[in-house]
Amino acid sequence: MVSMSLTSYSSFLKENKLSTDAVNKQRIKNVGAKISKAVEQYLAANGLQDQIANFQWEFNLVASNEPNAWCMPGGKVVFYEGILPYCQNDAGIAVVMGHEIAHAVAHHSNERMSQQALIQYGQAAATEILGHDQSDARKAILAAAIGMGTNVGITLPFSRKHEYEADHLGLIFMAMAGYDPYEAVAFWTRMANASTGKQPEFLSTHPADTKRIAKLKEAIPEALKYKKN
C-alpha cells in the first residue's frame, strides 16, 4: 500500500504546481513537524509504533484555490492553498493536519480499498485479489481507493465511522503538539458555514454538520489531557 502511494504521490507532484508562497509553505512544514512528532510519541507510548514503520514524513503546499488537504499512507501530506483561509491560523492547520494524518495512521485507506474491492468483485473475488500484491486488479482498486493525479486522496469518501475516528485521534495529536483542540470546533463551524453556498470539494468527503461538531465537543476533554503546555 505504501509503495503504491509513493508512486501516486510522485505522479501528483509532477502534475500539480507547488505553491510559491514561502511563508505558508514553511507554516505547513512547521505544523507538520510538530504533529508528526506528536503522532510518533503517541503511538510509541501505546505500543503502536509499527503503524508508521514505513512512514517518511513530507509536507507540501500546492498552488490550487481548491479547499482540500490529504495524507497518503506513508506520511505524504499535501495542503492546497484554498484551505488556508478556512484554517486561519496555525491551530487551524493543525486541525486539518491531525485529522488527515489520523486517517493514514489508522490505515483507513486499506479498509476503504477493501470496501471498493468488495463492491466491484464480490467477497470471494475481493479476498483473492487483495491477497496478490502485484495483480493488475489490486492496482486498479488501489488507484480508485487512494486516487490518482488530480483526484488523489478524494476519490472515495471515508465512512462516518472513519471520520469520527480521525477527528478523535486528530484532536489528541494536535493537543500533544501544543495546539488548542477547541480550534477544531471553530474550523468545522467555518466549513459548515461555507457549505451554504457552493460546497467546497473537501466537504464532499468531510461533511461538516451539527453531529460532527457535537462529537468533537464531546472528545475535547480527553484531548486536553494530552495538551502540551
φ, ψ dihedrals at 18, nearest 5°? -75, 150
Cell output for 95: 486541525
Active-site hit among 81, 100, 163, 183: 100
Separation in Å, CA 127 to CA 116, 145, 149, 185: 12, 16, 27, 39
Give the residue among 75, 97, 88, 95 at the shortest CA–CA distance from 28: 97
d(CA 195, CA 176): 30
Please tell me what DSSP assigns to residue 179: -
| Distance, CA of 228 to chain centre | 22
Residue the block writes with cell 484554517:
87
Cell output for 67: 479547499
Query: For this structure, is 218 an active site residue?
Result: no
Residue 120 amino acid letter:
Q
Q: Is residue 169 within 8 Å of residue 98, measured between CB atoms?
A: yes
Q: What angle do the packed helices 210-224 and 183-194 form, to 10 degrees?
A: 170
Cell output for 82: 484554498
Measured in residues, the chain has a length of 229
**Catalytic positions:** 100
